[in-house]
Chains A and B, each alone.
Chain A
Amino acid sequence: MSASTQTAPVLDPVAVAGAARGTLLRLATAGSVDDGKSTLVGRLLHDTKSVLSDQLAAVERVSRDRGLTAADLALLTDGLRAEREQGITIDVAYRYFATAHRSFVLADCPGHVQYTRNTVTGSSTADVVVLLVDARKGVLEQTRRHLAVTALLRVPHVVVAVNKIDLVDFSQEVYDRVESEVQAVARELGVVDAIAIPVSALDGDNVAERSPRTPWYGGPSLLELLEALPPSDDPANESFRLPVQLVIRPQGAARDEAHRDYRGYAGQVASGVVRVGDEVVALPSGRRTTVAGIDLGDRELQEAFAPQSVTLRLTDEIDISRGDVIAAAADAPEPTQDIKAVVCWLGDAPLRPAQRLLLKHGSRTVQTAVRSLDGALDLDDLHTVPSEALSLNDIGLVTLRLAAPVPVENYSTSRRGGSFLLIDAHDGRTVAAGMVGATLPTAADAPTQPEGDEEWEI
């Protein structure tokens, strides 16, 4: 590598401009141990030319030091010293790649260490989860768990990459069997939109380009699919909500004399669309007013939509402070002090009934007490069982009493309006991810399929 090798730009400027206009898609990967997940991520980065020569050189050097004959693309994502020393992935890593149409934020979630915590974290912001399944093994217990978590978190899209298709001689029969198996489990767990693709992460078949070695497969490559997926719900179909983060009142500190009397309510539109003139209500007070103006920095907008960060000016001077929610007057949520929710427990010490915690919803944090623990999800056969306590990585159903009314919504209607954190007031740690109104499967006898079994019939 030499400074003099810096060459003149060769990239197509149209492609560069295209990427600037493109949308953002957030994806998370999930999979079991040794299913080739890091290899797939490495392949996506490599095939979108997101791996630069100095990074590749470093990977090749380390691969050689370990006695490998080819570059181990998994090393691109395993960034921590302990990960390289132990050859495992410890924590969620974030990676970035782009095509001419879209930019991608990829949360690479490790499969075996604290998989619930990592999959919940990765899924919470994801537009799509890419779940790896080994074509030779089919649906494993952990595949079912990952599908259960993505269903619970209501990730809009699930792509099942049936990997190592090269190791089953690109067999359509094997793929069809695994695909039906995956779809049956997905339906059973309530995953609405699961799309399967046969891939070889190692060789790149159907990753960026459609492979001639799977002529029986008529669908898109993984990358083509990721480029085409709708990124999120259309804000036009949602109700407007904006949790107020700050009240902006510059007074004497205004950088311009004209803004001395400015009063605006700053926050991110959590859902829906708001226009100048719309009637809105402040929650929990219930006071109504109309939107007088919308600002994004010094630019005035006629409308704002999720997830823009804006500042609203209102017609009437009503009492609104940080933590309140400004909502469409027509269908505002009713603030409540009693909620039932599913929580994924992420704390080292267990959750017990009667425990006191902090709850953060939007920009509001209130005290809460755990009224009751109403059951826990048995992750082995995916049904609900009675429980006395929730331990790290457990998923359970709780009833909470809040110290003040909060305008929560059902998680099934709004991922943002229905999600909350539980926080340990003593040390500030985040101990749970919560989803208001979510339910757990109750079927006591969820069928379990023998793994990779020839007896399995379609």
Chain B
Amino acid sequence: MTTTSPVFTTAAPTFTASPVGDPDDRRLTHLDALEAEAILVIREMAGELERPALLFSGGKDSVVMLHLATKAFWPAPIPFPVLHVDTGHNFPEVLAYRDETVERLGLRLVVASVQDYIDDGRLRERADGTRNPLQTLPLLDAINDHRFDGVFGGGRRDEEKARAKERIVSLRDEFGQWDPKNQRPELWNLFNPRHRPGEHVRVFPISNWTEVDIWRYIDREDIPLAPLYYAHEREVFQRDGMWLAVGPVSRPRDDEPTSTRLVRYRTVGDMSCTGAVESPARTNAEIVVEVAASTLTERGATRADDRISEAAMEDRKKEGYF
């Protein structure tokens, strides 16, 4: 016996999900839909804001952001500078990649240096040596000094639970603070970055992308990346369940034996707390398959600082972090 609801039987579509392939079927693939949304946001903010800047670390998400901005304004150059908050703990390959990219695209680069703040005493090194939380002050000072009224970031909602609650266009008060309980409603595809003097907005055009979307897009668009995203031999040691590179800011203790392994990075950040994963993936296509099959989130797998507490990211964001 089956249910006899007339509405269901008349309204039910045929249950054979059809992949996009029909040339007359004008439906965007999900990657094209995500690209169209990101370009809409980037252009709208360029139209609405006086002095935006784009955060660029050389990491994969910010590289995708730059690629989208290039498409948004083509054939004109990107009409705003890029901003890098340099922890002083960067992988040298990533800094080299950053500088090559800035050169190739003819961009203006603004660098805010955590090291400068430590050297002159405005910031103090943390006991655990990680510098990710120290980025907030130099970031906010750079925003004030350059009078940026909007900052594009490559944050994604799938990265972390607090990010999952954040708007695409997200207001910051005069202290750079995010108030998660008092966010603007974001309706249709209408984005509103208006704010009072002293406030600014953070803009996350790739909010709706997942890690595997990023890799599919990098693969499809053939976007060059820093080499450490791909499998390579590296001298590493194990700490807190992560493979850390042997380097000037990440030295093994006596009880931490080192070994050379085939690894790659899923995220790049502060060398002292960003772990590598063992991987044979040397191409974008291999990484797409690897990421799709991974049983760990990218932050869970590679970021010691996000394991500090349930609300580590939320607390940093409330203080003005990315």
Contacts and interface: CB of A to CB of B under 8 A. Distances in A.
Contacts, number: 294
Nearest to B16: A228
Interface string A318-352: 00001000000000000000000000001000000
Contacts of B186: 121
Given A259-B75, A268-B39, 16 more contacts: A23-B20, A24-B28, A24-B34, A52-B294, A91-B183, A96-B158, A102-B17, A125-B188, A183-B7, A220-B15, A228-B15, A229-B13, A232-B27, A246-B46, A361-B190, A421-B190
A416 B47 CA distance: 19
A74 B207 CA distance: 22
B20 A22 contact: yes
B43 A13 contact: no
Contact of A3 (B37, B181, B241): B241
A169 to B, nearest CB: 16
Contact of B180 (A18, A80, A266, A307): A80
Interface centre among B36, B185, B277 (most CB of A within 10 A): B185
Interface string A1-21: 111101011110100101111
A70 to B, nearest CB: 19
Nearest to A82: B181
A47 B14 CA distance: 23
B187 A433 contact: yes
A125 B189 contact: yes
Contacts of B288: 16, 20
Interface stretch (B58-66, B118-126, B135-143, B159-167): B159-167
Contacts of B181: 80, 82, 90-91
Interface in A347-372: 358, 360-363
A90 B294 CA distance: 30
Given A21-B29, A80-B162, A196 B8 contact: yes
Given A124-B188, A256-B75, A428-B194, A13 B289 contact: yes
B71 to A, nearest CB: 4
B148 to A, nearest CB: 16
Interface size class of A (residues with CB under 8 A): 35 or more
A94 B310 contact: no
Contacts of A250: 75-77
A422 to B, nearest CB: 10
Given A95-B164, A101-B19, A322 B47 contact: yes
Contact of A11 (B2, B289, B311): B289
Contacts of B16: 228
Contact of A96 (B157, B241, B280, B315): B157
6 contacts: A1-B300, A3-B243, A10-B293, A77-B164, A228-B14, A307-B189
Interface of A: 1-4, 6, 8-11, 13, 16, 18-24, 52-55, 58, 62, 77-82, 84, 90-96, 98, 101-103, 105, 117, 120-121, 124-125, 172, 175-176, 179-180, 183, 193-196, 215-220, 224-225, 227-232, 234-236, 245-246, 248-250, 253-256, 259, 262, 266-268, 273, 295-298, 305, 307-309, 311, 322, 346, 358, 360-363, 415-416, 419-421, 423, 426-430, 433
A179 B28 contact: no
A81 to B, nearest CB: 4
B188 A416 contact: yes
B297 A6 contact: no
Contact of A217 (B2, B195, B213, B241): B2
B32 interface: yes
Given A3-B243, A224-B15, A227-B17, A20 B289 contact: no
Interface string B228-259: 00000000001001110000000000000000
A346 B19 contact: no
Contact of B207 (A94, A179, A219, A225): A94
B21 A21 contact: yes
Given A11-B289, A218-B3, A307-B28, A419 B190 contact: yes
